[in-house]
Amino acid sequence: MQNNPALSPTFAEPHDADALVQVSGIGKRYRPDGPPVFSGVSFDIRPGEFVCLIGHSGCGKSSILNILAGLEQPSEGGMIMDGREITGPGLDRGVVFQGHALLPWLTALQNVTFAVRARHRHMPRHEIREKAEHYLAMVGLEAAMHKKPAELSGGMRQRVGIARAFCTQPRVLLMDEPFGALDALTRGMIQEELLKICAQTQQTVFMITHDVDEAIFLADRVLLMSNGPDARLAEDASNPLPRSRTRETMHHEDGFYTFRNHLVDFLVRRSALAQKAATA
Ligand SMILES: Nc1ncnc2c1ncn2[C@@H]1O[C@H](COP(=O)(O)OP(=O)(O)OP(=O)(O)O)[C@@H](O)[C@H]1O
């Protein structure tokens, strides 16, 4: 951790000793004369955990993800990852946005090798290529790796984006509604692939979603934000379903409907009450 006296009081908060990421009392204010978008947000992410963040539009979810990515600075509080303060972007964090953000003049394979090369500057060319091919195969794109983004469907482009993020083997993968623009069928398929890859690689993930069922399928923990302005992290809900769940059968698992109702009730009712209580 860098020696930043301004942050020391917040970092004194209790955190899980095993946490990979420790977020301490972060807040964001874009306009000095207005209320903060959110404040006092603290949570931990343990290694290998899949954490989803849910909340109504405008409560600051993307701002939190951008702060974790180092693309934005918090107005208050701070974060530690692997014992060091996050102060800017780094290759230890891979980011997948809703728009795939691929380089349009490169093929799928070249887009992925570009990322591997940036991460592993001294890796031999053939190893870079093998790595890129491996991750493209993992997301089911063996046959399409020589196509350019314009020749791929939206779902395929998003999968290239996921392969690109995974292949750099970031300590944490940050995803901002990565499947928001996809049709339900493609979305389901990619969710399953993602869960499989995460299980194989023990990848740590922080993901924003609006979709309660997506969160229940993917997440070990669901963080619930109250409504903005001055939103807070209102609840930290552990997923009671076994990790072996599948999309087809998860609604038969004990606790599925109780957990789902809990999340839906938060979004429909408690998120507004939590905001009133926090700002009263
Ligand atoms: N760069 C910025 N400059 C000024 N205001 C911003 C900036 N980025 C976000 N905001 C404002 O901060 C608030 C939260 O935005 P943010 O995108 O973080 O919310 P969100 O919860 O991710 O919303 P959504 O679910 O609609 O994507 C909004 O009122 C937004 O207008």
Q: Residue 199 has what pLDDT?
A: 87
Say which CATH number the domain at 273 has. Answer: 3.40.50.300
84-85 β-sheet, strand order:
38-45, 21-28, 76-81, 84-85
Residue nearest to atom 8 of ligand 1 (CA): 63
* ipTM at complex level: 0.97
pLDDT, position 235: 93
- 56 CA to middle of ligand 1, Å? 11
Instruction: Summarize pLDDT for 10-31 with one digit per residue, the tens.
Output: 444 567 778 999 999 999 999 9
First-to-last alpha carbon distance for the chain, in angstroms, is: 35
Sorted by sequence, the CB contacts under 8 Å of residue 23 that are 6+ apart come out as 41, 42, 43, 44, 45, 68, 77, 79
Q: State the DSSP H helix or E strand holding residue 113, giving kind and residue range, or none if neither.
A: helix 108-119
142 lies in a domain?
no
- The H or E element spanning position 76 is strand 76-81
d(CA 208, CA 189): 18
Give a yes or no: residue 143 inside a domain. Answer: no
**Is 220 inside any structural domain?**
yes
Q: Rounded to whole angstroms, how far apart are CA atoms 40 and 64?
A: 12
Whether residue 240 lies inside any domain: the answer is yes
- Give residue-wise pLDDT tens across range 95-132: 887 766 899 999 999 999 998 888 888 889 999 999 99
d(CA 27, CA 139) in angstroms, rounded, equals 36
* 37 C-beta closer than 6 A to ligand 1: yes
254 located within any domain? yes
Tokens of 194: 């993602």
Please tell me if the CB atom of residue 73 comes closer than 6 angstroms to any atom of ligand 1.
Answer: no
Residue 100 confidence (pLDDT): 67
Specify the residue for token string 């980011």.
95
User: For 87-103, what is each residue's pLDDT tens digit?
Assistant: 899 888 988 877 668 99
The answer to whether residue 46 scores a pLDDT higher than 80 is yes
Note the pLDDT tens digit of each residue in 211-235: 999 999 999 999 999 998 999 999 9
Does 165 have pLDDT greater than 70? yes
Q: Residue 49: inside a domain, yes or no?
A: yes
> Would you say residue 126 lies in a domain?
no
Cα gap 129→115, rounded to integer Å = 11
Q: Provide the residue count of the chain.
A: 280
Ligand 1, residue 208: give the atom nearest the CA: 22
Average pLDDT over residues 254-269: 94
pLDDT of residue 13: 57
The domain tally of the chain equals 1
- Judge whether 71 lies within some domain: yes
Nearest CA to ligand 1 atom 2: 30
**How far apart (Å, rounded) are the C-alpha atoms in residues 131 and 164?**
10
Gap from CA of 64 to ligand 1 centroid (Å): 10
pLDDT band at 197 (very low <50, low <70, confident <90, very high): confident
Quote the pLDDT of residue 194. 85
Domain that holds residue 4: 1-87+210-280
* 3-state secondary structure at position 102: coil
Between the CA of residue 237 and those of 109, 174, 207, 216, what are the distances in Å?
Answer: 38, 19, 15, 10
